[in-house]
Amino acid sequence: MTLEQAQAFFERYRDAFNAGDGDAVADLWHSPSAITDSRDGVARVTCWAEDAPMRANMQALCGVYRDVGPHGWAFEIRDHVPLGLNHAFINVAWTLKRAGGEVLQEFCTGYQLAQLPAGWKVLFCTAYQEDLTETRNHAAQ
């Protein structure tokens, strides 16, 4: 994956989140796939063997972000590691801002991507800084 391909992939990813379209987000993930994060200082891994539970997760995640009110995502690729022709690791810095420009959250997330017959897809995500509790605290009143 070239840096240009990574930029284009994450532009689609960002746009899907900005639209609050959980299905469009899920379309950029492979089945099976997995995500790891840390809550309460403990690493947790969620594996989705099938499309439906992963898709439901992405829809729910878009709902969490929709609850903060009008907002927009921006991103910057921090690390781009091509792994042959069909794989890459991408570390992305995300910024979530309210429509008025107030920064709600800034965090980095790592993505393992593969080029499959259906295009580039997320195989594994390491959400090592995102704090959904903090996002929920910003929910629109």
What's the CATH number where 34 sits? Answer: 3.10.450.50
pTM of the predicted model as reported, rounded to 2 decimal places: 0.89
Of residues 65, 74, 80, 68, the one with CA closest to residue 113: 80
Using an 8 Å Cβ cutoff, are 120 and 5 in contact?
yes
What is the pLDDT at residue 40? 76
Residue-level pLDDT at 71: 84
Quote the number of domains for the chain. Answer: 1
What number of CA atoms fall less than 13 Å from residue 109's CA on the CB side? 22
3-state secondary structure of 22: helix
Domain with 22, as residue range(s), is 3-137
Tens place of pLDDT for every residue, the chain, 141 residues? 999 999 999 999 999 999 999 999 999 999 999 999 887 778 899 999 999 999 999 999 999 888 877 789 999 999 999 999 999 999 999 999 988 888 888 999 999 999 999 999 999 999 988 766 666 555 554
Residue 136: predicted pLDDT = 52
Query: What pLDDT was estimated at residue 141?
Result: 40
